[in-house]
Amino acid sequence: MTTAPAAIRLASVSKVYGSGPGAVTALDEVSLGLGRGRFTAIMGRSGSGKSTLLRCAAGSDRPTSGTVWLGDTDLSGLTQPALTRIRLRHIGFLFEADDLLPALTVEQNIALPLAERTVDRTWLRHVAAAVGLADRLGHRPSQLSGGARRRVAIARALITRPAAIVADEPAGALDTRTGRQVLQLLREIVDRTGQTVVMATHDPMSASYADRVVFLADGRLAGSLDEPCPLAIAERMTHLGAW
Ligand code: ADP
Ligand code: MG
């Protein structure tokens, strides 16, 4: 168990899609604290509820029941505009899909989440340097490799100094080597800056970059591993009958 205070906490969170006989329970009474300054992986096979958990944790989807806390804020008590504001300010998103805007420069893409807020140029340059893009700020996404584009997305997730980065299969669409570099970069960001990261993955090697792996099976928590190695993660998945 983590002893660090939770950046995000889920308390008995359930999510049901649809109603009647066709209803799907994607999350079933999930209670989980995502430790501040820690790298947590949510691991489970396809359809186990990982993306739903991340969306509920990030405030981009509302649970059917249960409560999500972002720090001291109970997200279930918020109106939709307030929830959206909190999400944009305090959560950094990193998705599998490459969703950079092609017409904008690297710098403009990184600054996007700031919207109308003033860009702190020192911080932007610091973030760009941290992901190895200091000399690429004027480039367009089409001039970059897949790995470099993913690093732009990481910088964009960091630019608001979020309470947590929420990453859904961040290495999923990349070749193995580039995927490892992205995971290593997330690891370094956590170690160097104390950033909180939560990542969904179905790959034991990816999950082994985390401090803690939490297993999901059919929308339910199915245990966790601290300081996990890929073999132990794969073994646990096999025991869960998840493969
Ligand atoms: P994972 O990310 O682990 O693959 P998901 O959270 O995407 O799992 O999905 C969990 C379950 O919820 C699956 O059975 C999926 O089909 C269902 N589900 C996810 N999103 C929706 C949706 N918007 N409408 C209906 N069912 C959904
Ligand atoms: Mg998913």
Q: Which tens digits make up the pLDDT trace of 46-72? A: 999 999 999 999 999 999 999 999 999
pLDDT of residue 214: 97
pLDDT, mean of residues 106-118 = 90
Residue 2 has pLDDT above 50, yes or no: no
Q: In the chain, where are the structural domains located?
A: 6-239
- Which residue puts its alpha carbon closest to atom 5 of ligand 1? 49
Pocket test for ligand 1, best of 52, 214, 240 (most atoms within 8 A of CB): 52
Please state, for a pLDDT cut of 70, what percent of the chain lies above it.
Answer: 97
Q: Share the mean pLDDT of the chain.
A: 92
Local confidence band at 98 (pLDDT 50, 70, 90 cut-offs): confident
- Which residue puts its alpha carbon closest to atom 25 of ligand 1? 17
Residue 22 has pLDDT above 60, yes or no: yes
229-242 pLDDT, tens digit each? 999 999 999 888 75
May I ask the CATH architecture of the domain 6-239? 3-Layer(aba) Sandwich (3.40)
pLDDT of residue 242: 58
Distance of CA 156 to the CA centre of its chain: 13
pLDDT of residue 115: 82
51 Cα: distance to centroid of ligand 2 (angstroms): 4
Whole-prediction pTM value?
0.92
128 Cα: distance to centroid of ligand 1 (angstroms): 34
Whether the CB of 202 sits within 6 Å of ligand 1: no
pLDDT of residue 124: 94
